[in-house]
Amino acid sequence: MKRRDFVTALGIGASAAALSACGKKQPEDCGPEGAGEKAASKEAIQWKMVTTWPKNFPGLGTAPERFAKNIAKMSNGRLEIKVYGAGELVPALEVFSAVSAGTAEIGHGAAYYWKGKEPAAQFFAAVPFGLNAQEMNSWIHYGGGQQLWDEAYDQFNLKPFAGGNTGVQMAGWFRKKINSLEDLKGLKMRIPGLGGEVLKKLGGVPVNIPGGELFTALQTGTIDATEWVGPYNDLAFGLYKAAKYYYYPGWHEPGTTLEVIINKKALKALPEDLQMIVEQAIRASNQDMLDEYTARNNQALNTLVNEHKVELLKLPKDVLKQLHVVSNEVIQEVANTSDLTKKVYESFTKFAEQSRAYHMISEQAFYETRAL
């Protein structure tokens, strides 16, 4: 054999051996100059994630970004998720419909935004005077809540997950003081879900607008008040520049669960290991968000009060009592709208009763003892 032919044959043999060995290695080990990485990238499953939050907004908007990065690392690049903020691909309040239709494979939002599609959805976000973050997680994961949530969303081709929690929220920002129930009459306030229905029953005017529009609406007087989340997010939006009075407690949202919704067809199309990675990454994001808000809220509140001279006020006791009474009426009315909603209500209520009974001698008793 001539030398030239020998060298050619040797090269072909070496390439074949390398390709054979490549099948036993990680993609980045294969081929010259990261050719394996390029191949893996081409074969990666691409998902679009739409959210109801402004792009990279602290807490709410950054959580989906961290989730997408975690998925990429955990799957070794096999699943890539591109995150879109509100309005970038679809409007903020169209996330549910977009994921249901398959326009995007996955979304991040809050279940009470979709009460027009399924009234039962509201119970999986926040119930006035209801469960706090710890209790919501427990009900969903161990109290039968997840099964009912699945049932509620199945008709929309969606699989829901708890994807974050803000903890107890603030009652909101008001352009005038609230001294009595009379001050709620005619009040135009951005407040979604069941809380909005309570305000309406007391003579107020609930408005449901995306977070990105809140500051302008409050500043121009389009609305008289708004609730958003709490100090960490409210400071970021600069709401203190548009309203002077900051009220607590967040009676309407005692532990708001954010949701990740996935198109069921897209989820089932994933290999089983990627399905598990997605589910566990969501579970981690759910806890991570609560940790972040717990860590950031106090510092932000100090900034609002001490630097921006915000007037921090507690809602009057008689106002809170009546809000509680009317909340129970509204919740009962919603519960009677369908068999499914009634079933969700009964599960939620039963869990709440058990949780309160135990927390009277655990959480609540400890807080009272700590305050001595």
Q: What is the pTM of this model?
A: 0.87
pLDDT on residue 34: 42
pLDDT on residue 42: 58
The neighbour count for residue 30, using CB atoms within 10 Å, is 19
**Cα 296 to the chain's mean position, in Å?**
17
User: Tokens 């970021």 map to which residue?
Assistant: 236
- C-alpha to C-alpha distance for 194 and 217, rounded to whole angstroms: 21
Give me the residues of the chain with pLDDT under 70, please: 1-42
Pull the structure tokens for residue 318: 């008689």
pLDDT on residue 352: 97
User: Tokens 């998902």 map to which residue?
Assistant: 47
Query: Residues in the chain, how many?
Result: 372
pLDDT on residue 43: 85
- C-alpha to C-alpha distance for 240 and 237, rounded to whole angstroms: 8
- C-alpha to C-alpha distance for 269 and 45, rounded to whole angstroms: 10
- C-alpha to C-alpha distance for 209 and 39, rounded to whole angstroms: 44
Quick: pLDDT tens for 198-229: 999 999 999 999 999 999 999 999 999 999 99
Among 117, 91, 118, 122, residue whose Cα is nearest residue 104: 91
- C-alpha to C-alpha distance for 357 and 372, rounded to whole angstroms: 22
Q: At a CB cut-off of 8 Å and minimum separation 6, what does 68 contact? A: 49, 80, 81, 82, 83
Strand pairing report for 257-263 and 106-109? antiparallel
pLDDT on residue 112: 96
Three-state SS letters, the chain: CCHHHHHHHHHHHHHHHHHHHHCCCCHHHCCHHHHHHHHHHHHCEEEEEEECCCCCCCCCCHHHHHHHHHHHHHCCCCEEEEEECCCCCCCHHHHHHHHHHCCCCEEEECHHHHCCCCHHHHHHCCCCCCCCHHHHHHHHHHCCHHHHHHHHHHCCCEEEEEEEECCCCCCEEECCCCCCHHHHCCCEEECCHHHHHHHHHCCCEEECCCHHHHHHHHHHCCCCEECCCCHHHHHHHCHHHCCCEEEECCCCCCCCEEEEEEEHHHHHHCCHHHHHHHHHHHHHHHHHHHHHHHHHHHHHHHHHHHHCCCEEEECCHHHHHHHHHHHHHHHHHHHCCCHHHHHHHHHHHHHHHHHHHHHCCCHHHHHHHHCC
Among 127, 128, 123, residue whose Cα is nearest residue 111: 123
Among 89, 133, 98, residue whose Cα is nearest residue 250: 133
Per-residue burial over 39-55, b = 16 or more CB atoms within 10 Å of its CB, e = otherwise: ebeeeebebbbbbbbbb
Per the rule left: phi > 0, alpha: psi between -120 and 50, beta: everything else, 256 is beta
pLDDT on residue 5: 45
Phi, psi of 159, deg, nearest 5: -115, 115
